[in-house]
Amino acid sequence: MKKRMKKNLYKTSILFLLICLNFSTSAKNKTSTVDQNLRELIQQQKLTAVPKTKSDIPSIYSPIAQLGMKLFYSKALGGEKDTACVSCHHPLLGGGDNLSLPIGTHAQKPDVLGSKRRLKKGYKLGVPRNAPTTFNIIFHKKSLFHDGRIQAITDQGFAGINTPDVPFEKDDPLGGNNLVQAQARFPITSIAEMRGSFMSEAGTETLRRSLADRLKKNWLEAFRYGFSDSQADVDDLITEQNISFAIGEYERSQVFINNPWRKYLAGDDNAISINAKKGALLFFKSQAKGGANCSRCHSGDFFTDELFHNTAIPQIGMGRGVGKTKTNDFGCGSISNKASDKFRFRTPSLLNVEVTGPWGHDGAYTTLEGIVRHMLAPLKSIYHYDKKQIKQKGINLKDMEKNTLAAVKYGLELNTIKNISTKDVKNIVSFLQTLTDPCVKNVKCLSPWIPKKTDNDPDGLMLHAIIKS
């Protein structure tokens, strides 16, 4: 009797072992066909996982980036000394602010960042668009801003930078050395972002010079260190051009591209999960071959064609004051004044997209799954849009349907991808998560980009964030 039981047990364990073996080999085979297909697409699309830039990436430890960091965190550049760049672009908040629509000047507690940041009573939200990440900004070759209003003029090579200070497509002689520097000269001129009621009559250049004058009192040593010039004269050194240059170098040092996707492209089949691989297949495959063809727009290693498209993201908030409702946003149509550009926004990069929410130019989607569903089936997503996902107070939701449908009717550029399951959506999200550099989720790893309380603070206006989410 006992012997029989033993024999049976022996038999079942052999059987079990065989099943296990069979399972693991079939799983392995399955993985390898997925790998084969995916690696083929990677080859076809010439991907390397390392976006290209012609310029050198500044080190965060370089004197100029260190000066730029101090300026980026200093409320001295806010007209009313209550806002810094970092108020809306904190490294611990994915280089953004975790809000759908930002709060710049007149926050209840200026140093509180994250989803608990509130406006003082009696003030209204004044920034119509979501704050994009400053991470990897160095890789943008063509333009900055959701509507591209900082734009490289690339008439046979680099021929200057167009900015809102000059007519469209003309070179701004004060644009600076690169797009990031050119951009850094504008938030300080925006009433709702940083300026408040400071010098409300002054033009942009007068304002910039006054802010530079403000720094002359206490910042000379920091600038001498930053520009490695211990003798330089204060008026030569503390200029609006040097301020924006230093800030730009700090931002351009924020390169975070060491993600699992890169490991996978370097040959490590185990760097990403089978689900992420299936998601990647959908992302890169053409619709004819059963994919979602996301890489039609999110192309290349920076996951953007840097062009403008109408994807009809639900238009929430105050918009840019245009359209029938006066709360719509025409995107780059308002910049180029071309009818074909109406409702188009720049394709964002998807590197680190997991940590850069809320998503869309107005932060209409507060989950990554939500925006992915929109990209797969836009009309369904718009009709079933859940307004309750917007927990932030003071956002106008009443014109949303009208504003969004105006964009849809004008010429939605997304196709509805058929036969997509919930599993497919989750797989795409898993793939997007492989684009996260672990550094951006790690306080210690990000610490070089965050000034310490013990660091020298020229005028005591450094913003040491209290992050609440």
Query: Which residues are at the interface with ligand HEC (CB under 6 A)?
Result: 83, 85, 87-89, 102, 104, 127, 129, 131-132, 134, 137, 144-147, 180, 183-184, 187-188, 193-194, 247, 251, 283, 292, 294, 296-298, 309, 311, 313, 345, 347-348, 350, 353, 356, 359-361, 371-372, 375-376, 413-414, 428
CB-side exposure of 320: number of CA atoms within 13 Å? 16
Q: Which is nearer to ligand HEC, 26 or 389 (CB)?
A: 389
Residue 152, φ and ψ in degrees, nearest 5:
-75, 135
Nearer to ligand HEC, 244 or 457 (CB): 244
Q: How far is the CB of 296 from ligand HEC (least distance, A)?
A: 5
Burial class (CB in 10 A: 0-12, 13-18, 19+), 72: buried
Least separation in angstroms between CB 21 and ligand HEC: 37
Residue count (the chain): 469
CA separation for the pair 447, 94 (Å, rounded): 13
- Tell the smallest beta-carbon distance from residue 75 to ligand HEC (Å): 10
Q: Which residues of 341-375 are buried (b: 16+ CB within 10 A; e: fewer)?
A: bbbbbbbbbbbbbbbbbbbbbbbbbbebebbbbbb
For the CB of residue 102, give the shortest distance to ligand HEC in the complex, in Å. Answer: 4
Specify the residue, 244 or 439, whose C-beta has the smaller distance to ligand HEC: 244
- Using DSSP, state whether 62 is helix, strand or coil: coil
Q: How far apart are CA 382 and CA 388, in angstroms?
A: 14
**275 CB-near residues (< 8 Å, 6+ apart):** 426, 427, 430
Return the number of the residue (102 or 160) whose C-beta is nearest ligand HEC: 102
Nearest distance in Å: CB 88, ligand HEC: 3
What are the Cα distances from residue 243, in Å, to 177, 178, 185, 215, 338? 12, 14, 9, 10, 34
CB of 322 to ligand HEC, least distance (A): 13
Residue 247's nearest CA partner among 297, 211, 198 is 211
The smaller minimum CB distance to ligand HEC, of residues 16 and 172, is found at 172
In angstroms, the CA 330 to CA 346 distance is 12
Give yes or no for a contact between 370 and 381, defined as CB atoms under 8 angstroms apart: yes
**Gap between the Cα atoms of 455 and 435, Å rounded:** 33
Q: Which residue has the tokens 């007068």?
A: 206
In 292-328, which positions are buried (b, 16+ CB within 10 angstroms) versus exposed (e)?
bbbbbbbbbbbbbbbebbbbbbbbbbbbbeebebebb
Which lies closer to ligand HEC via its Cβ, residue 362 or residue 457?
362
Q: What is the smallest separation between the CB atom of 135 and ligand HEC, expressed in angstroms? A: 9
Rounded Cα–Cα distance for residues 463 and 247 (Å): 15
Q: Tell the smallest beta-carbon distance from residue 431 to ligand HEC (Å).
A: 8
Q: Please say which residue, 69 or 414, places its beta carbon nearer to ligand HEC.
A: 414
Answer whether 136's CB lies under 8 Å from 356's CB. no
Residue 280, helix vs strand vs coil: helix
- Nearest distance, CB of residue 377 and ligand HEC, angstroms: 9
Which residue, 8 or 55, is less far from ligand HEC as judged by CB? 55
Of 19 and 462, the one with the shorter C-beta distance to ligand HEC is 462
User: Please, which residue, 237 or 376, has the CB nearer to ligand HEC?
Assistant: 376
Q: How far is the CB of 358 from ligand HEC (least distance, A)?
A: 8
Minimum CB distance to ligand HEC, residue 331 (Å): 7
Give whichever of 186 and 264 is closer to ligand HEC, judged by the CB atom.
186
**CB of residue 95 to ligand HEC, shortest distance in Å:** 9
DSSP per position, 363-390: --BSSHHHHHHHHHSHHHHHHT--GGG-
Report phi then psi at 161, rounded to 5. Answer: -130, 130
Measure the CA–CA gap between 195 and 300, rounded to whole angstroms.
37
**Which residues on neighbouring strands pair with residue 151, listed in sequence order?**
143, 162
| The two three-digit tokens of residue 187, written as one number | 């938030």
**Cα–Cα distance, 307 to 368 (Å, whole number):** 22
Give me the residues paired with residue 345 across strands.
309
Nearer to ligand HEC, 58 or 132 (CB): 132
